[in-house]
Structure 1
Amino acid sequence: MIKIDIFKKLHGSNGQMNLDVNLEIKEGDFIALAGLSGSGKTTLLRILAGLEEAKGEIKIGETYWQNNSTFLAPQKREIGFVFQDYALFPNMSVIDNLLFVKKDKDLAIKLLKITEMEELENRLPNTLSGGQKQRVSLCRALMNKPKLLLMDEPLSALDPKMRAKLQQEILTLHKEFNTTTIMVSHDPSEMYRLSNRVIVLNQGLVINDGKAKDILLRTSGSQKFSFEGELLDIIKVDVIQVAIVSIGQQLVEVVVSNDEAKNLNIGQKVLVSTKAFAPLIKNT
């Protein structure tokens, strides 16, 4: 069991705010940490890692990583941290990046094999693609078999196909090592696919906490599905108005009435939902 009860004053997106989080996390959980930018997600990860100080307590099992009399240094916290920018040593080969953490070649080879990187073990990071670098970063984070794996939007810079592949590898490694994982993400599909629990922060406070399905599905009444997107444009086509909405990686066209169009503003967040038909799913 991981117990977190911390407090820290921050300057958020809307000025000063208090990061005030009290959570209990079960061993082996995969937690998706969601919320708007500036809500305190990355700061919470850094506090758990010991990279930033805060008031309060962090307890892993029977061991305090932080309380009134204790503050363990990051290297003593049994964590793995996967950053957005990979943070690899550029002058070391793939396998040397892993062995720098722990001199266990058998484990390093095992991790590289799971992530299909074993044939690239002698390559330098600057010869790898973004997806390959992120695999190396993930493997390195697991070299110490950490009690807690922290990931800060690890796949945000990758294309959708590579993201889906690495999501599966992350899930495989999570189950293989039974590591408790906390991942910051803004991608609902990623959170749904990987996590068994979603925690939403807003202005430093937990405002929602539950199963991915309960937190992420935004339907009500007779709606078949509902997606949040950004209104990019409204175009008049003959006698109708067509709204162009960005949803994830795709653009969709939605017919709107003249009255609806008057109440919409370019750039605003909108919900696109359906009621009157049964959606079809086909192979692409």
Structure 2
Amino acid sequence: MLKVRNLSVHYGSTRVVNNLNLALGDDEVLMLVGPTGCGKTTILQALAGLIPISEGEIQLGSWHATPKKSVPPEKRNVGMVFQDFALFPHLTVQQNVCFRLSDTALADHWLNLLGLDAFRHTKPANLSGGQKQRVALARTLAHEPAFVLLDEPLSNLDAALKDSLRWEIREALKKAGIPAIWVTHDQEEALSIGDRVGILKGGELEQVDSPERCFSEPASRFVARFLGEASFLPGQLRQASVETELGHAPGIPINGAGGAVDLLVRPDDLSLVPSVQGNGVVDWVRYEGCSRLFAVTVDGGAQLRVRTSHEVQAEPGERVQLAIVTTHPLAAFARS
């Protein structure tokens, strides 16, 4: 099990990662997300031994790294998958995957499993982006790493390919039984692929939990906003129920919130019906194909986002009736 305790990394006088603590299960996929500059890639580089750590410790099996006891990358048995693939352009697919391997049986296994058998003698320049990423993953897994670090491996691919390849990568990691830390800026990718999700802000972990818990019970407003479209509706929390101008809703107090709260509502938690007697006014509307996304300012002053069927139509300036339709508890934060 990979264990990270009180890890901090400084670039000169700037603390980029602050007091990071986490443990990675034997075949767990941990997704790390956060805004640009929050320390995601720095954490991967520190775990791989590519940059020194300033405080804390990293431990896996027989090796133990501290600021005074550095362990070089080649001694950590770590596999890395990069967003730019990092393949040798002059080598074929098979040569890339088998690079520095004495026994190629495992390379053959991953070439077959990842659908690359027909491209063994092809060079990277003649491969698609998705094929290149499969080659990079096969090369990593063929070397039997103790853990894998993935630095935004799908960021250079088109949206349709990302959706299928993310699952191929997850399934390959699970079949290999290798734990992984996967950095991404894509919230949907993080929530759908990870066994757990870690949300970073300013070099610190705001929350590490299951995707469901991070989304439905975010530890902070920052997490709530980062993991999806978030609106906040004022209300009063009493005995696990929140009274709002749109009606009652079951509530989960976050960090001991009570009394006056702001209720986290996602676009799918609300319904919208055009009505001249409604309780809000449409600010803008976006057509999304199968759905429409509305921004509505309710009479109490809060602006809420509502997602409806594409068949529901209302124009900016029109009055509409909003209601809370969800039956699951919603996160309630102390009134800011």
Q: Offset at 1:103?
A: 3.1
The alignment yields a C-alpha RMSD, in angstroms, of 3.4
Give 5+ residue unaligned stretches, structure 1: 229-239, 265-269, 280-284
Do the aligned partners of residues 200 and 253 (structure 1) sit closer, same or farther apart at CA in structure 2, a change above 3 Å counting? closer
| 1:127 alignment partner AA | N
TM-score scaled by length of structure 2? 0.67
Note the alpha carbon deviations across 1:127-157, whole angstroms, 9 max, x for none: 1111111111111111211111000110112
Aligned position for 2:294: 254
Structure 2 partner of 1:203: 202
Q: Provide Cα deviations, 1:106-145, integer angstroms capped at 9, x if missing partner.
A: 2112111111111011100011111111111111111211
Which residue does the alignment assign to 1:189?
A: 188
Structure 2: gaps spanning 5 or more residues: 217-223, 225-229, 233-241, 243-248, 250-262, 269-280, 309-321, 327-336
CA distance in 1, matches of 2:139, 2:101: 9
Shift of 1:167: 1.4
Give the CA deviation at 1:192. Answer: 2.4
Corresponding position of 1:4: 4
8 A contact 1:114–1:169 mirrored in 2 = no
Q: 1:1-284 residue pairs with structure 2 within 5 A?
A: 1-5=1-5, 6-10=7-11, 17-55=16-54, 56-61=56-61, 63-67=62-66, 69-217=68-216, 222=249, 226=266, 243-244=284-285, 252-254=292-294, 256=296, 272=306, 276=323
CA contact (8 A) 2:197 2:211 kept: yes
Structure 1 residues 214 and 129: alpha-carbon distance in aligned structure 2, compared to 1, 3 A threshold:
same
Cα separation, partners in 2 of 1:18 and 1:76, compared to 1, 3 Å: closer
Task: Classify 1:168/1:37 alpha carbon distance in 2 versus 1 (closer, same or farther; 3 Å).
Answer: same
Task: Report deviation, 1:245.
Answer: 5.4
Give the 3-state SS of the residue equivalent to 2:156 in structure 1: coil
- How far apart in 2 are the matches of 1:101 and 1:194? 31
Change (3 A) 1:227 1:58: farther
For 1:139 and 1:130, locate their aligned partners in 2 and report how far apart those are by CA, in whole Å: 14
Cα distance in structure 2, aligned partners of 1:112 and 1:244: 47
CA distance in 1, matches of 2:194, 2:179: 11
> For the residues of structure 2 that align with 1:187 and 1:250, how far apart are their CA atoms?
21
CA deviations 1:169-208 (Å, max 9, x no partner) are 1122111111011000122222222211111111111111
Contact 1:84/1:153 (8 A) holds in 2: yes
For residues 212-244 of structure 1, the C-alpha deviation after alignment (integer angstroms, 9 at most, x for no partner) is: 11113457875997269xxxxxxxxxxx85525
Partner SS, residue 102 of structure 1: coil
- Superposition TM-score, scaled by structure 1 size: 0.78
1:64-89 Cα deviation digits (max 9, x unpaired): 34125532211111111000111100
CA distance in 2, matches of 1:43, 1:114: 31
Name the SS for the 1:162 alignment partner: helix
Aligned residue for 1:200, secondary structure, equals strand
CA contact (8 A) 2:31 2:183 kept: yes
What percent of counterpart residues are identical? 31
Deviations 1:239-264 (A, max 9, x none): x85525599x999542645989x998
Higher relative contact order (CA 8 A, sep 6+): 1
> Where does residue 234 of structure 1 map in the other structure?
none
CA–CA distance in structure 2, aligned partners of residues 224 and 113 of structure 1: 46
Describe the SS at the equivalent of 2:30: strand
> Residues 291 and 307 of structure 2 are in contact (CA less than 8 Å); yes or no, is this contact kept in structure 1?
no
